């Protein structure tokens, strides 16, 4: 089999029909071999380079909230030291939330908007710590109305171990994402949290 062969170029049919003024050659060289391609990104419609997203390798934005009272809550994660927001879901479809508490029992998790000191794309200020609401694509479950994007009223945690919870699709693309976690374990608890985003 030849390494390359000559084929008709689809954009030059006018020249092939005999019109001599066509400026594009009527034939192209078509490779006859397989060649691997690595896709690392693309140029968007305004000329900006966009790299392909990949899963976070490790958990990040590790935060420890000390002595959270029973019935008390806290927001996580916090703003980075350089004033950037760590939990931006732009280009990601799922997020893993890791929690380690010193007291076993129930904990509530709600997805909320991040702080009003960080822009949401080009909007500022945003309604900080407000519940994120969405309407999904299934009219039989949403009826066109907005509902809480994510709220788990009572997740039972074991003391002093990391427990990882994966939230698929609901928070995809959400910028400035934060979680409000409530200690309903029955006693004071110190709570560590960390996050990992998945494509």
Same domain, 109 and 27: no
CB atoms < 10 A from the CB of 27, how many? 14
Same domain, 121 and 36: no
pLDDT in the model for residue 178 = 97
CB atoms < 10 A from the CB of 62, how many? 15
Same domain, 41 and 123: no
Same domain, 39 and 122: no
The answer to whether residues 106 and 183 touch, using CB atoms and an 8 Å cutoff, is no
Select from 33, 36, 27 the least CA-distant residue to 1. 33
Same domain, 183 and 120: yes
pLDDT in the model for residue 128 = 95
What residues have CB less than 8 Å from 89, skipping those under 6 apart? 95, 171, 172, 173, 174, 175, 177, 197
Same domain, 92 and 172: yes
Q: How would you list the strands of the sheet with 105-113, edge to edge? A: 73-76, 177-184, 105-113, 151-157
pLDDT in the model for residue 33 = 73
The predicted model scores a pTM of 0.76
Same domain, 88 and 154: yes
What residues have CB less than 8 Å from 90, skipping those under 6 apart? 173, 175
Same domain, 138 and 41: no
Same domain, 63 and 152: yes
Same domain, 12 and 99: no
> Which CATH number belongs to the domain containing residue 107 in this structure?
2.60.120
Same domain, 187 and 93: yes
Summarize pLDDT for 109-145 with one digit per residue, the tens: 999 999 999 999 999 999 999 999 988 766 555 566 7
The answer to whether residues 198 and 54 touch, using CB atoms and an 8 Å cutoff, is no
What's the number of domains the chain is made of? 2
Token pair of 70 as six digits: 């029973």
Token pair of 148 as six digits: 């809480």
Which domain does 14 fall in, by range? 4-50
Return left, alpha or beta for 103; rule: phi > 0 is left, psi -120 to 50 is alpha, else beta.
beta
The conformation of residue 52, written as its DSSP 8-state character, comes to: P
Determine the number of helices (DSSP H) and then strands (DSSP E) in the chain.
Answer: 2, 14
Same domain, 67 and 117: yes
Mean pLDDT by runs of 10 across the 199 residues of the chain is 56 59 58 77 85 91 97 96 92 96 97 94 93 77 76 94 96 95 97 97
pLDDT in the model for residue 15 = 54
Residue 147's H or E segment, with its range, is strand 147-148
pLDDT in the model for residue 22 = 47
């Amino acid at each position: 089999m030849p390494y390359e062969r000559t084929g008709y170029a689809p954009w030059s049919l006018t020249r092939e029909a005999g019109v001599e003024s066509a400026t594009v050659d009527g034939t192209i060289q078509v490779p006859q071999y397989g060649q691997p391609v690595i896709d690392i990104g693309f140029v968007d419609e305004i000329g900006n380079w966009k790299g392909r997203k990949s899963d976070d390798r490790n958990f990040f934005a590790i935060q420890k909230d000390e002595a959270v009272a029973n019935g008390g809550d806290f927001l996580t994660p916090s703003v980075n030291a350089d004033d950037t927001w760590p939990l931006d879901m732009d280009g990601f479809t799922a997020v893993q939330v890791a929690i380690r508490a010193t007291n076993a029992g129930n904990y509530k998790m709600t997805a909320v908007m991040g702080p009003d000191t960080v822009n949401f794309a080009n909007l500022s200020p945003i309604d900080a710590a407000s519940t994120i609401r969405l309407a999904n694509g299934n009219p039989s479950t949403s009826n066109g109305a907005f509902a809480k994007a994510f709220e788990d009223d009572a997740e039972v945690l074991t003391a002093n171990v990391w427990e990882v919870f994966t939230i698929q699709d609901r928070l995809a693309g959400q910028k400035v994402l934060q979680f409000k976690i409530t200690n309903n374990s029955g006693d004071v608890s110190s709570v560590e949290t960390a996050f990992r985003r998945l494509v």
